[in-house]
Amino acid sequence: MDSKNFRFKYASGLGPFAISTPIRLLGVIALILAVCSNGGCLASQMRATSNRPVNASMTVFARASIEQHSMDSVCLFPCTSPPEMAAASKGITVAFQTRLVQRRPFREIRTLPYEVKSDSEALWYARNEGCTLAMCPSLLYMMDGTGAMTTELTVRTRILDARTGQVLWDLKQIGRSQPGYDIDLTWNTITGEPAQRCLVIADCLAQRFAEYLVGPLEKEK
């Protein structure tokens, strides 16, 4: 047996089996390669899901008493946006519809397919459909990527009284999510969690909007 690579120590009874330094180094290298192949050493590899938080803010320009409108029926129009952001509009509309139906601040929530470009157009459709309120969300700003950079949405939502044309609610919401920091271990980089994507942020804003509307009603219970 090669004395450079192995040596044996024997004492009375069972003795330890020792491996020399060159063999130990080969074992460490093999272990590192195994960890890299199983865990993924590529810093560019992003996880499919993320636990990163969404920071949301809300600015209220106009606010009505929900107690006076809880028996109203609201027509929700598709979210409007600049052409370059149109891909996100449908997801925002669906998110608001879903959350409003769950929390039910109004007696009825109806989604209309008409893309309105003015208050007068929204009021005309709402009255024609038998709704007492018209809800018009609009996407003002969007920044979305792979999750490696900050994701941000700015949505403004207005609810009009179809009977009088008065603006009852007017709110601007901003949702933002940032990726986690990478951890450099010299021999490997643990990639930080990716930022939440636009659909997750849209759902967060819609949930907060619905909770904002229904909050006063729940306090009365």
Position 7 scores a pLDDT of 42
CATH number for the domain that contains residue 158: 3.40.50.10610
- The count of C-alpha atoms lying within 13 angstroms of the C-alpha of 45, restricted to the half-sphere facing its C-beta, is 10
Cβ atoms of 171 and 159 within 8 Å: the answer is no
Q: Provide φ and ψ at 213, rounded to 5°.
A: -70, -45
Position 36 scores a pLDDT of 35
Same domain, 111 and 154: yes
Same domain, 157 and 198: yes
For residue 164, CA distances in Å to 37, 74, 168, 170, 185 come to 66, 14, 10, 16, 64
pTM across the whole model: 0.72
Same domain, 25 and 62: no
Tens digit of pLDDT at every position of the chain (221 positions): 444 444 434 344 444 434 444 444 444 434 433 433 333 322 223 344 678 878 899 999 999 999 999 999 999 999 999 999 998 899 999 999 999 999 999 999 999 999 999 999 999 999 999 999 999 999 999 988 777 678 899 999 999 999 999 999 999 999 998 876 656 666 666 656 777 888 999 999 999 999 999 988 877 66
For residue 46, being part of any structural domain is answered with no
Position 18 scores a pLDDT of 41
For residue 44, being part of any structural domain is answered with no
Number of domains making up the chain? 2
Integer-rounded Cα radius of gyration of the chain: 29
Q: 70 in helix, strand or coil?
A: coil
Q: 205 in helix, strand or coil?
A: helix
Same domain, 111 and 150: yes
Q: Which domain range does residue 165 map to?
A: 55-220
Q: Provide φ and ψ at 151, rounded to 5°.
A: -105, 135
Position 53 scores a pLDDT of 77
Question: What span, in angstroms and rounded, lies between the C-alpha atoms of 178 and 200?
Answer: 13
CA 78 and chain centroid, separation:
20
Position 184 scores a pLDDT of 60
For residue 141, being part of any structural domain is answered with yes
DSSP 119: H
